[in-house]
Every structure is written in structure tokens, then in C-alpha cells.
Structure 1
Amino acid sequence: MDASQTTTFQAPGLSRKIGLAWLALAWEGLWPRLVPVLSFVALFIAAAHLDLFAGLDPWVHTGILAALALALIGLCWWRLRDFSLPTQEAAIRRLERDSGVPHRPLVAVQDRLAAGESDPMSAALWEAHRRREAERLAGLSNKPAHPGLAVLDTWALRFVPLLALIVAIAVAGGWRSDRMAAAFTPAFPPPPPVVANLWIAPPAYTGKPPIYLDMADKDKVLRVPVGSKLAGFVDDVRGRKPPQLKIDGNGTEFATVGKGKYQVEQVITEGKQITLMARGDEQARWKLHVIPDLAPTIEFAKPIGVDKWSTKIEYIAGDDFGVTGVQLQIRLHGSVLGDDMLSADEEPEVIRLDLPVAGNTKKVADTFVRDLTSHPWAGLKVTVMLFATDALGQKGRSSVETFLLPERVFNDPTARALIVLRKALTRDPKAFRPDVADGMRLVQAKPESYRNDAVVQLGLRIGAARLAQNGDKENITETQKLLWDLAMRLENGSMTDAERALEQARQELRDAMQRNAGDEEIERLIQQLYDAMAKWQKELAEKMQDPEERRRMMEQAEKMDPNNTITGDDLQKMLDKIREMAKNGQREEAKRLLEELRKMMENATPMMAQPGQQRQQGQRGQQGQGNQQGREMMNQLDRLSRRQNQLLGESEREGRQQQGRQGQQGQRQQGQQGQQGQQGQQGQQGQQGQQGQRGQGQQPGDGQWGEQQRGQQEGLRGQLGDFMKKLDENGMGMPESLGRAERNMREAEDALRRGDPREASRSQRRALDNLQQGMTDMAEQMRQRGPGNNQDIAEIEERERRSEDRDPLGRSDGNYGDAVDTGVDKVPLELERQRSREILDELRRRAGEQRPKDELDYIDRLLKTY
């Protein structure tokens, strides 16, 4: 055998034993260094489980954690700075020592022959030696590691952290991960959330309220009109970048207005989703539905009608958010109507009339009544079209209607001739201009045909000369107006201007009521109507001074129905009713009454200014006087009933207040009885009995009230007595119910004298019932008196029929004071108007007093004119 060859000897499990020896050496070097670090960690865990970090200031907690972390890092470095892992030779030596085998067999089997490798004898001896040492490797074994902590820690302080940890976990009820998390996370307040105050303001013309966006209402569908403005503010003090508002992905960055404060403003025209982005995340999201603004619609409600000389057009218009304007356009038949007609051009072939519309009314249903007989197109076929506009300027049109524009019928032959000339000038100005000028000269040459009127003569002369010299549009228009004015002068005399001013004042007042004008403007226009009426009556009276004119007017009056004849007093009363209705907010009723005024003016006769008419119609006047007298007596009895009702309300209110005072006294006495003994209780009961007796009689301060009430009740009873005497003087039967009412009033006086408001209210209620029964009995008597009272009886029956279904303002339930069109134009009775006026005066008085805010708001809503 070659001595240079070395045989490798391996014992079973030798590598594992060397590895265990290496681990034992590593553990003995590392564990004494780790014990202080682990004790530090155990103490921290024990403190966490004992919740020692709770309640600390966040910054103090952070400082403690930082100090502990630095201490732990320093301790680890200090203990492990000189630690190094054991070598392979040290592990082999440790295994040899643990086994107790001499001569280091592990080293021997790995050694090599230093010299004599070439000598066979030496090599054989070396190989035998190695075999013998390899046989000894089987006896190698590992011993446990011995870190030697007992020598280093003679006081066994290493067990203190362990015991503290065990006790802390036991106290905490087991392992507490929440307390461990709280120990590692200082209780800093969370970052302030993104505060968004956003809203969507619909356009003002829509009348819709703003929509506030709540960040909690995610996926809420927002229905907003097109053109709405999205605005608001966002507070984001922790945000590094301004927030963004996205509508379908199109972002708009908020404008910075201060530190952490941003604002945005954007008009919404389309989109399906709104998203608020801040701090790089989505903060809120809302679904969006944009409501389009449709074009308005307008149509004729009924075929165009003609009422004598007036043109009557009923129309209905509507828009989803409100109609802002309605325009009527009239053209001669054959002209073209289109959207361009809404532009303000100067075409004389178009009549444009802007009709009054209350601001932003979704539905407009009105009637246009206007006297267009003065227009040159009177008597010709025309086409009419209606246009409606909304706040966005969108236009809606109606169908085209064709009708014959009414013309005034002239009785005076010269006036008819002038109107014929005017029509010819209207049909073809260029062709008929010379003929019309010659015709005007021919009429002017015969002064007897126009009663030698110098105004007519001068007008014809000047008009003919101007027309012959100049044929432009302006001169043609002026000549047409001149011919109309001269014809009206010949037909009606100087009254034309006053009548025209009266009609214009009436129309202006109606238009103002239609567009809901303010009270000051309505009052001014009503006064203007008063003045125009006075001027018209004055000129009518002056015209009656002419014997020929008086004779002609009287001939017309004889041909008319006497029941249609009106007087100056009738017109004045109607104007007073219109003013009263406008003041009370009854705009629709006032508009109907203005239309009635127009019809009355058309039926007006000279009898209203002729004193002799009373003698000619003496019988009818006496009958009317009887009707008026009966109506006045019914009104007087109604006033007595309403005054009795007021006294009844005051008595009931005083009775409730007296009962409340007694209840308060009883509560105070019960409190005193609870504090006193049985003897005191008996004394209080006696005192309570005495006070109860006084409560049934007269309370302190009640004597003055009772005396005042008794005086008012006595005065009302005296008025009833005078009324019954008047009934007897006029030959009318005395209803028994009025006698019972007088006795009930006397009983109420006696109760008020005793200071007993409850008994007084019971008597007053019986008196009120008897007064109302008396009104019914009087109505029956008037019915039995024969003709002439039908109107009064009908009004009384209608009032009785609806009296049980009224609200506090006298309006019928579900019909709002008969404001809804029922096919008949109804005007409130005098009693109803007076009652409404009294209620409004009382509301205005209360609105100026010191009252709770809720009550004042409610009064303001009642006083508001819709």
C-alpha cells in the first residue's frame, strides 16, 4: 500500500455531533447576551397589558416609544458588540471535551504523516494508528449547553421580568392584542375629515329650492334643471392639493380662498354623476339627472269671438318652469307669420301686442279683450298667431287663426264716408292716395254734412293737402288716424277722447292685475280709472246740453231695455267694488268686474246723466227703492249678527282665562297642602272653598271687563230694538226669532252683570242662533212680497247655501271663494266683501303687534297676495 494515500474514516453521526457542539457553543455565547434584551421586551409587554400607556398625551407617548426604541437598540448593540460565531475547530474540540476521549481522535484521523511517507513501514504504522483512533470516534457524545447564567445572575433577577409578564397577562385576562396595538400607536386624533358644503342652485326662474349635497347620501339621484349652478366650499386642512369636482370624468379644480379652504362654482348642462375628489381619494359621489328645459306651448282655448266692437281671444299657455311673456301678432290675411315676427322690426303690416303675464307662471289661461276697431285693418280679414317665451328665451307658437277684424258701425253718413276713404287707403295706399285726397276735399266742401264743425273742416283740408303731396308710410299712417278721429268726432262728438281714456285706464288696470303688480301701482291705476270715469261723465253731461243731441240720445234710450239702463251711481259703486276687491287681494274677481264694467259702458245711455229719467221710470225707481231698502235691512241684520258673534267670542275667551286662573290657584293650594299637616290641609280646603266661591263670582280685575261687556251687549240689544221698530214702520212682519234674540241678549246682560262669562256666552250663543233664524225668516217674507226681490232672494239663498262650508276668510271649501271657473262670473256679496275686509284689517293689526314668531309668519302668509 502506498503510504502517500490517506484513507478517510467516517463515524456514524459524526457531522450531527459536531453541529450540536457548534450550536451549544453559539448558545452559550449568545444567551447571556440576549437575556437583558428579552427582559427589556418582557417588561414592555407587561406594561402594555397593564394598560400603562393609556391616557398619555400623544406626544408624550410618542417620546416614550422613541426613548424605549433607542434604549432597545443601544442595549442590543452593547450586548452583542463582541459576539462572534464559533469555528469548526472549536466545535470539534467541544465535542472531544464533552466525550472525555483523550488524545483528540478527531484531529488524529485528519492529520497527515509529516515525514517518512515513502517508507512503507512508517506508512503502515501511520495507517494502523489512524484506524485505531477512528475506532474511538464511535464513543463521542454531546453534552447540554451551559450558558452559566446562574454564575452571572446570582440574585436570579432574570426571572423578575418573566413574573411581571405572567402577572400582567393574567390581570388583562389573556393575551390582549388591542392593548399591544394601543401601546405601539399613540392616541393622536385622526386627521380632520374633508368637510364639504356643496349645493345646487336651480335657475331663479324655475322656482325650485336649492339642493344641498350630503356626503353621506352616496349614489343619491339629484334631479336638477339644466343651467343649475353647483357651488360650495370644501375644508381640507390636510390636503396637499386642491380638491376636484368631476362631472362624468370632467374635473374642475377648486379655487383656493385660504389655508385649507377651497371653493367651486360650475354650471351644470349635462352629466350623469358628480364625484368629489380630495386627498387623492373619492370622498363622495352622487348620481345626476339633468332635467331639460322644454320650449313653452300656447294655443287658442276657444275660437276667436267678437263682442260688439271688441275682439275676444281666449288662450292657454304653459311651460315646465314658467311662461315669461305672451305676444299676440296680427297680420293681414296672406302675410307670413314665423319666428322672425318676435324680433322688434318696423314692419307696419304686423300688429304686436304684448299680453300681461304674472312672473314665471307655469300655466297661463287668460282672455284678451281689446277694441281694435280703430285700426286701419278693421273690417278686413286678418290672421292671428300667439307666441309664448320662457326665461331661456325659448319660443312656442300657436296655430294660425283667421277671422274678420270687427269694425265699428257708424250711423252718421259723413263718418261712414270717411271710413270708406280710410279703408281704400289701407287696401292700396299707392293706388288710392289721389282718390282719397280728392274724396276728403269733396267732404270738406260740404260743411252742412258735418254740421259746420270747424275742427272737422280744418282736419280734412290739412289731411288732403298732406296726402296729395307726400305718400310715404308715416304720412299714410297719420292720415288713417286722422280719418278715424274725424269719423269718431262726427259719430260721438267730443266724448271720444274721454271714452278712449276710460277704456285705456280699464285695460291698464286689468293688465296690472294679471301680472300681479304691487298694491301701490294698483291703487294708482284705480285712481286713474276714477278720474277717467269722472271726466267721461262730465263730458257726457255737457254733451246733453245740446237739445239735438239730447233728443237723439233719448230716442236711443227709449229703444233699450230699461233693465239694462245704468246710472252714474251704478258705475261709481262698481268702481268702489273693484277698488275694495283689489285691496283685499281678490284680483280674479276684480278682473271679472272690470269686464262687466266694459259691458256696462257699451250699454250706457244718456239716462245716466238725464234727470228726467227718474220721472219716466218712476214706477221702476220705486220698485228699485224697495229692493234697495230690503237689501239694506238684511245687511243691517247681518251686521248685528256679526257683532253678536264678536261679543260671544270675547265672553268665551274670558271664560277660558277665568278657568285657567282657577286652575293655577288650585295648583298653588295643593302645593301648600303638601307642605302642611292635616290641620293645615283642612284650613287650605276651607280657604279653597272661599276662593272657589269668589271664582264663580268676580275675579280681581274682572269687574271692569264685565261692565264693559254688559254695556256693549246692552247697546247691541238697543240696536236690535230700533231695527224691529223700523220693520214695524215699513209694514213688515216681525219674526218671532228676533224677539227671542232680544230676550237672550237681556239674559246675557244679567250674566255679565254678575261676572259670569260662561253663562253669558251660552245666552249670547242662543241670541246669535235666533238672529240667524231671523235672517232666514226675513228672506222668506221678501220672497212672498212678489216680484222685484228676486235678485236679493237669490243672493240670500246662495249665501245661506254656502255659509256652512266656509273657511275663516269666507272662501268656500275646495273652490277658493268661487275663484274657480264654474261657467258663471260671480261677484261676492256686499256682506262677504265687508267680512273679508274686516278679517284683513284684523290680520294687519295683529301683524304689527308683539307676537310669537311662528304666529307672525303665519299671519304674513295669510296676508301674502298670491
Structure 2
Amino acid sequence: MDASQTPTIEAPGLRRKISVAWMALAWEGLWPRLVPILAYAALFVAAAHLDLFAGLEPWTHTGLLALLALALGGLGWWELRDFAWPAREDAIRRLERDSGVPHRPLVAVQDRLAAGQDDPMAAALWDAHRRREVERLAGLGNRPAHPGLARLDTWALRLVPVLLLIVAVASAGGWRADRMTAAFTPAFPPPPPVVANLWIAPPAYTGRPPIYLDVNDRDKVLRVPVGSKLAGFVDDVRGRKPPLLAIDGKTTEFTTVGKGKYQVEQVITEGKQIALQARGDEQARWKLHVIPDLAPTIEFSRPIGVDKWSTKIEYIAGDDFGVKGVQLQIRLHGSVLGDDALSSDEEPEVLRIDLPVAGNTRKVSDTFIRDLTSHPWAGLKVTVMLFATDAIDQKGRSAVETFLLPERVFNDPTARALIVLRKALTRDPKGYRADVTDGMRMIQVKPESYRDDPVVQLGLRIGAARLAQNGDKENITETQKLLWDLAMRLESGATSEAEQALEQARQELRDAMQRNAGDEEIERLIQQLYDAMARWQRELAEKMKDPDERRRMQEQAEKMDPNNTITGDDLQKMLDKIREMAKNGDREGAKRLLEELRKMMENATPMMAQPGQQRQPGQQRGQQGQGNQQGREMMNQLDRLSRRQNQLLGESEREGRQQGQQGQRGQQGQRGQQGQQGQQGQQPGQGQPGQGQGQPGEGQWGEQQRGQQEGLRRQLGDLMRRLDENGMPMPEALGRAERSMREAEEALRRGDPREASRSQRRALDNLQQGMGDMADQMRQRGPGNSQDLAEIEERERKGEDRDPLGRSDGNYGDAVDTGTDKIPLELERQRSREILDELRRRAGEQLRPKEELDYIDRLLKTY
């Protein structure tokens, strides 16, 4: 075997001992070189804790730090310039020296047999030798390193930096990270901050205020409507690049408007986060919630109603930010069209009516009432849809309703024939054009059918000739209008124009009130309505001078409901009431009265010749009108009786409380001042102590109160007797009220105001119940005219859900403001004054408890 193949024999732990010897050599060579460097660092730390760098100019501090860094680098280079890491052989030699073994056993075990392994005897001897050397390796050991600093630093100067460091840390109160930071950081002035003035302006139609973006409110949730505009300015003097506005990572660069000044405008349509980036960093961040603008909704609130000639459509519309407009669209139903009209390629005709809307109202609840009898589609089946539009022109549509468009009832046979021709021309203009032409010519050749009216004759001749010559859409429309005008002339003569002007003036006034027009416009339209009414009455009076026309109108009046007879005075009073309510701000009430005016005009008989003309008492209509007038007067008398009974009830309750207070003071006087009772003439056990002086006044009050109560009872008896004479049913509640009044009289005669007040309260309740019963009876019998019914319903409606001051009990949140809680009726105003007077009277009574006086004071401040 070759000597190079001699296996190496390792002793246990030999590698670790060699490594330790190597580290000892390295430490002995490195530590003396590191001590000066560490001493330099200790001196710097000590100087930092002693705050020696404070107050230095920024650039001086920076230069000093640079010099210290260079010095540290030079010192490190100088100390480590000749340092070399020890070799393995040096570590082996160090281990052998530290162990004190002769003959270098670590080298011996690594020797190899020079003669080779051919001689078994030599190989065995060599192997035995190596094993003996290995056994010697077990005794090897390491000694500690000896850097030899004591020999190098005989004066122990290395301890001076350590002592200075200890003193500096102690004087600084411990380790000071802030002073260390200040030592390494020159006190350069900070760069000017980024000044951002940003805001979000919602669209004007939303009515929401702008939102200011505060850079300190990180992650604040911003709730903004879609379409809002983010705008603002940023001042960044030190910025090298314009700032960036990021919405969900999509950045927009600010526009430079000057040195260090930037601006931005961005419309927000979507996103969940807004960030402002400047100088390469994120300066602010906000969370974003975009509120979508939903399409408006609109629906029919009730089925479409037809009131004689008028069409009544009630609807409700809403939008999250406000309804801008409402449009009514009417189309002819396919079932009434002829074959030619159905097969035509032309776009179907649509009647569009824009309904008035008061500004951007979130919720609109209104009623559309319009006389559409003059339209060619009157009397035909139509389909109706409602469309609502918001501020960004989003549209919402209602369901489709189908109904028969009301038509005017013509009593003149020729007028009816003309309307039939107009209907045929509407159903199928091409198919019936020739038949309508022939029909107009047949009527034209019979002058006696239209009372030899030259205007009608000329109109029929020209209309027939024009229709036969040309059948385009424009000519068809003109012919339809001509047929309507001729029919209206035959039916009501020239008065139709005045009546149309009156209806137009009424509708314009109602639309102006609906859109909350100004007071000047409302006053102008009210005056226009006055003028139209006067013109209509004058022309009607002129028409009544013709005997034939008077006879015809009398015949027409006999066919109508006699309860609907009205006079010019009734209309004038209605107009005055409308003007008063409009001036007082109660526009909703004025709109209701305008609707009642329309009904009165529709139901009025031709017998109301002129303003101031009264009904004939000998006629049945006059008798019924007089009976209805009496019913109205009885209702008003019951109202007055109720108010007076309420006043007597209040007086009785006040007298009862005063007697109770006097009784309490008298009892105190009896306990504290027995002699005072003798002076007053009071005997123990008689009356109430302390009331001797007030008895004469009390008896006088009781007699006076009893007389007033007796007078009210007699008035109620007269009213009940009149009801019986007129054949009107007697409400049982009135009989109970009369008995309660008698009981109140007896209690007042006895001088017992408390018992009297209880009876008076029962009487008041029965009077109010009797008023309700009479109103129901008048409804069932049918009031004298629609004005009577309106007054009854308005009286009851005003009394529902209201306090005595006429204020509505419930109009909260997003409820629709109907305007009915602005101006109370006269009855409510009188009750309000009575309550205020009573509160002021009680506030002046200083003998009342303090809690009650405070409560009254709060009520006075509230009202």
C-alpha cells in the first residue's frame, strides 16, 4: 500500500480544539486594532449625550459629520491595514504549544510511511506508532487568548472614552435616542407642507351642500351623489412635479396655474377611494361612496275619474333628488281605429300635456283635472300613461290605463250630428273623409236645422269643399276644429268663447299655484279670472234677452238637477274667497275652491242670468235652494252654539278652581286665625271657611251664568223646532244636549260650578255630535249646490288631525307638504285667540302654583 493511501486517524474533539485555537489567534490580532475604533465611537456617543451638537448651524453640523466620518474611515484603515486572518497550520501549532506536548503529535498523525505498505512488519509498526500519537492527542487543550493590550497601553488610556461615555449617559438621564438622532441629523428647516384645498360640489339639483376634504381625515367616508364635481387647489412650492388625484387608482394630473400652484376639476361617476399624491408620497386618502341617481317613479294613485265633461287623473311621483317635470301622454286605443289608420305607416298621434310641478320636489302628489271635450278624441277609447323626469332627464313611466275620454253632451240635434261626423273623421280620416264631406253638405242644405245661422252655413260649405279637395293631416285637423266650433255655436252660441276663456283662466291660476308662482303672478291671474267671469256673465245676460234663447234655456234647465241652481252672487263669493285664501298663503285651499268653482260652472243651470239675481221663491228650485240655505244657516247656528257653550264651560271650570283655592286658604285661616272667622260671620260647619266675603259675588255669578245657559238652551230648542217644521230628521244628540243644558242650569242654581261644568261638557260633546249627524244628513239628501258640500267637507277636514291653533298634527320627514297647515279657518282662528286670552289671564294670577305658571309661560312662548 502506498503511503499516500494511509488512512487518517482523527482524535475525538480535535476539530473543535483547532477552531478554538484559530479564533484565539484571530482575536489576539484583531482586538488591539478595534480598541481605537471603539474608543472613537464611544467619544462620539458621549458627545451626543452631552448635546454638544445642539445649536450648530445645519451646514456646519453637516461638515462636522463629514469630517468625523472621514476620520473614522481613516482610523479604521490605519488599524486594519496589516491585519490577516490566521492559517490552519498556525492554529495547529498554537494548539500544540498551548498543550505543551513534545514532538508535535498533530503533525505526526498526518505523516505517511515513506517505504510504502509492502512490508507487513513495517506497516504494522507504523500503524502502532500512529495509534500511540493519537492517544497523545487526547491530552491536547486550549488556553485563553492574550491580546496583550496591557503591553500596548501601559497608561490604560483605553478606559478614558468608556468613563466619558458613562458620565455622559448618566448626566443625560439615561440613554437618549432623541439626542443620538439629533447628532446624526442636521437641523435643516423642514420643507413647506403641501397645502390642499379640495371640495366636492354635488349637482345643484340635489340641493346638497359642498363637502370640504380635510387632509387630516384619513379614510373618512364621503357620500356624494353621482355627477358631483371634485375641484380645488394645491400649493406645493418644493414639488418638482404636479400633484396627482387618484380615484380607484385612475390618476388625474393637476393643472399648473403658477409656480408651485396647481388646480384640478374631476367629475365623480364611480369609485371607492380618493387619494392625493404629491412629492412622490400619498398626502391624503378618503373613502368614497357614490350615491346613484335613480330614475323617478310615477303611478296612478286612483283610477281615472270622469266628472261630467272633465277628466280627473290623480297621481303620485317621486325621485331621490326631485321630480323636475311630469307629462301626461294620451293615445287613441287601437280598437277605435279604422283599417286604413291601423295599416298606415305614419307615427300614431300622441297628445302630450305637461303638468305643473313646484321646483325639484322629491314627492309629488297632485290631481290633474282638465276639460278635454274639445279634443277630437272626446267620446273615444284612449290609453293614458304618465312620465316623470328628473334633473338629469331620466324618465320613469307609469302603467297604462285605458278609459273613455269624456265628451260634451249636446242637446241640439244638429250639433250632435256634427260631433258624430268629427268622431268618424278621427277614427279613420282616409276611410271616412268622403262620408264626412257628404254629411256636412247634407246638413248645409237644410238651414232650418241650424236656425238659418249664416256663420254655420258658410262654415259647412267651406269645410266640405276643403275636405273634399285635400285630405292631408293639417286639413283634417282644421276640419275637426271647424266642426267643434260650429257645434258649440249651435249649442250655446257666442257664450262658448267666454266660457272657454273662463276655464282657461281657472286652469292657468291653478297651474301657477301648483308651481308656487310669485304673489304678483297669482294676483294677475286672479284678476284675469275675475274679468273672464264678468265677461261670461255679461254675455249670458245678453243671451237671455232673446225670447227664443230664454225659452230654450228654460227647457234645458228643467232637465237638470234643481239642486244645482246658483246665482251670480254665489260665483262672486267663491271668487272673493279664492282671492283671500291665495293672499293668506293657503294655496292648497285655493286650489280646492278652484275645483269647486269648476264643478259649479259645469252643474250651473242657465237660469243664473246675472250677478245679484235671486231665485224665485215660488218655484220648486227656489224652494229647494231656500231649504238648503236654511240647512246651512242651521249648521252655522249650531256652530255658534257650540262655541258659546265652550266659553260657558271654561267659565264654570275657572269658578270651580277658584272656590277650591279659597277653600284651601279658608282651612288654613281656620287653623291659624280662629278670631277671623267670627268677624266674617262664619259658624263652624257652615259653608266653606274663608268664603264669607265672596258669597254675594258668587251668587251673582251663578245667577248670571244660569241665565246665559238658559238662553243657549232656548236657542237650541228653537233650532230643533225649525228642524221639525222643515221636515228634517232630528239628531238624537241634540236632544241629549238639551237635557245636559237643563242639568247645568240646576247645578248653577245650586251654586255648584263643578257639577255644572260636567253637565256643560256633556252638552258640548252632544252639540258637536249633532253637527256631524246633520252634515251626514245633508250629504244623503244632497246639498243645495256643490258649494254647500264643499263647506261641509272643508269644515270637517279642517277639524281632523289639528290642534285648536289650526296646525296639522302630522307632516313629518319626506311627507308631501300639502300646504294645509298654513292658514286655519275662521273658527280655528277664533279658538286660537280665545286660548291665548285665557293663557294670558292665567299667567297674571300670581296665586297659582309656580309649576303651573312656568308651564303657562312656556305655552305663551310657543304660541
Q: What's the TM-score once normalised by structure 1's chain length?
A: 0.60
Q: Cα deviations across residues 739-772 of structure 1 (Å, max 9, x unaligned)?
A: x9xxxxxxxxxxxxxxxxxxxxxxxxxxxx9999
Aligned equivalent of 2:530: 530
Q: 1:831 aligns with which of 816, 819, 826?
A: 826
Q: Cα deviations across residues 619-671 of structure 1 (Å, max 9, x unaligned)?
A: 66766666676777899999999999xxxxxxxxxxxxxxxxxxxxxxxxxxx
Change (3 A) 1:458 1:836: farther
Q: Separation in 2 of the partners of 1:614 and 1:489?
A: 33
CA contact (8 A) 1:795 1:829 kept: no
Change (3 A) 1:53 1:623: farther
Equivalent position SS for 1:354: strand
Aligned equivalent of 1:349: 349
Aligned equivalent of 1:578: 578
Change (3 A) 1:562 1:830: farther
Aligned equivalent of 1:342: none
Q: Separation in 2 of the partners of 1:369 and 1:556?
A: 26
Q: Separation in 2 of the partners of 1:256 and 1:641?
A: 81
CA contact (8 A) 1:315 1:365 kept: yes
How do residues 384-533 of structure 1 correspond to structure 2 at under 5 angstroms? 384-533=384-533
Which letter maps to 1:177?
A: A
Equivalent position SS for 2:808: coil
Q: Separation in 2 of the partners of 1:323 and 1:84?
A: 88
Q: Separation in 2 of the partners of 1:804 and 1:440?
A: 57
Aligned equivalent of 1:613: 616
Aligned equivalent of 2:199: 199
Change (3 A) 1:300 1:600: same
Shift of 1:301: 3.6
Shift of 1:813: 0.8
Which letter maps to 1:831?
A: E
Shift of 1:165: 6.8
CA contact (8 A) 2:581 2:587 kept: yes
How do residues 115-126 of structure 1 correspond to structure 2 at under 5 angstroms? none
How do residues 27-426 of structure 1 correspond to structure 2 at under 5 angstroms? 44-45=47-48, 47-48=50-51, 56=55, 61-62=57-58, 65-66=61-62, 68-69=64-65, 145=151, 168-187=168-187, 190-334=190-334, 349-426=349-426
Change (3 A) 1:284 1:621: same
How do residues 520-599 of structure 1 correspond to structure 2 at under 5 angstroms? 520-599=520-599
Q: Separation in 2 of the partners of 1:430 and 1:591?
A: 43
- Does residue 810 of the first structure (1) align with residue 806 of the second (2)? yes
Aligned equivalent of 1:4: none
Unaligned runs of 5+ in 2: 1-21, 84-146, 338-344, 649-706, 720-737, 745-757, 834-861
Q: Separation in 1 of the partners of 2:48 and 2:821?
A: 93
Q: Separation in 2 of the partners of 1:242 and 1:199?
A: 18
Q: Separation in 2 of the partners of 1:285 and 1:303?
A: 53
Which letter maps to 1:613?
A: Q
Q: Cα deviations across residues 214-239 of structure 1 (Å, max 9, x unaligned)?
A: 44444444444332322223333332
Shift of 1:266: 1.4
How do residues 633-648 of structure 1 correspond to structure 2 at under 5 angstroms? none
CA contact (8 A) 2:586 2:823 kept: no
Q: Separation in 1 of the partners of 2:317 and 2:31?
A: 103
Change (3 A) 1:232 1:45: closer
How do residues 643-792 of structure 1 correspond to structure 2 at under 5 angstroms? none
Aligned equivalent of 1:683: none
Q: Separation in 2 of the partners of 1:163 and 1:301?
A: 95
Shift of 1:795: 8.2
Which letter maps to 1:466?
A: R
Which letter maps to 1:450?
A: Y
Shift of 1:489: 1.0
Q: Cα deviations across residues 246-278 of structure 1 (Å, max 9, x unaligned)?
A: 223221111122333322211223333333222
Shift of 1:490: 0.9
Equivalent position SS for 2:379: coil
Q: Separation in 2 of the partners of 1:804 and 1:435?
A: 59
Which letter maps to 2:808?
A: S
Equivalent position SS for 2:393: coil
Which letter maps to 2:445?
A: A
Q: Separation in 2 of the partners of 1:203 and 1:219?
A: 24
Aligned equivalent of 1:647: none
Which letter maps to 1:425?
A: L
Q: Cα deviations across residues 68-99 of structure 1 (Å, max 9, x unaligned)?
A: 5588689999x999x999999xxxxxxxxxxx
Shift of 1:308: 1.5
CA contact (8 A) 1:17 1:142 kept: no
Which letter maps to 1:582?
A: A
Which letter maps to 2:449?
A: S
Which letter maps to 2:323?
A: V
Shift of 1:776: 8.3
Equivalent position SS for 2:601: helix
Q: Separation in 1 of the partners of 2:429 and 2:264?
A: 63
CA contact (8 A) 1:505 1:525 kept: yes
Q: Separation in 2 of the partners of 1:625 and 1:727?
A: 23
Change (3 A) 1:327 1:496: same
CA contact (8 A) 2:565 2:625 kept: no
CA contact (8 A) 1:196 1:235 kept: yes
Q: Separation in 1 of the partners of 2:300 and 2:149?
A: 117
Q: Cα deviations across residues 498-539 of structure 1 (Å, max 9, x unaligned)?
A: 111111222222223333333333333222222222222222
Which letter maps to 2:467?
A: L
Shift of 1:481: 0.9
CA contact (8 A) 2:645 2:764 kept: no
Q: Separation in 1 of the partners of 2:183 and 2:605?
A: 106
Equivalent position SS for 1:608: coil
Shift of 1:804: 10
CA contact (8 A) 2:242 2:255 kept: yes
Change (3 A) 1:552 1:533: same
Shift of 1:793: 14
Shift of 1:835: 7.3
Equivalent position SS for 1:241: coil
**More deviation, 527-536/229-238:** 229-238
Shift of 1:473: 2.4
**More deviation, 313-322/539-548:** 313-322
Shift of 1:729: 12
Shift of 1:391: 2.9
Change (3 A) 1:729 1:396: closer
Q: Separation in 2 of the partners of 1:785 and 1:87?
A: 127
CA contact (8 A) 2:645 2:712 kept: no
**More deviation, 777-786/547-556:** 777-786
Which letter maps to 2:251?
A: G
Q: What's the TM-score once normalised by structure 2's chain length?
A: 0.60
CA contact (8 A) 1:42 1:161 kept: no
Shift of 1:604: 0.8
Q: Separation in 2 of the partners of 1:25 and 1:380?
A: 118
Change (3 A) 1:47 1:786: closer
Count of aligned residue pairs for this structure pair: 649
Considering only aligned residues, what root-mean-square deviation do their CA atoms show, in Å?
5.9
Which letter maps to 1:371?
A: D
Percent of aligned pairs with the same residue? 70
Shift of 1:485: 0.7
Change (3 A) 1:76 1:253: closer
**More deviation, 594-603/506-515:** 506-515
Which letter maps to 1:810?
A: G
Shift of 1:315: 3.4
Q: Separation in 2 of the partners of 1:836 and 1:262?
A: 65
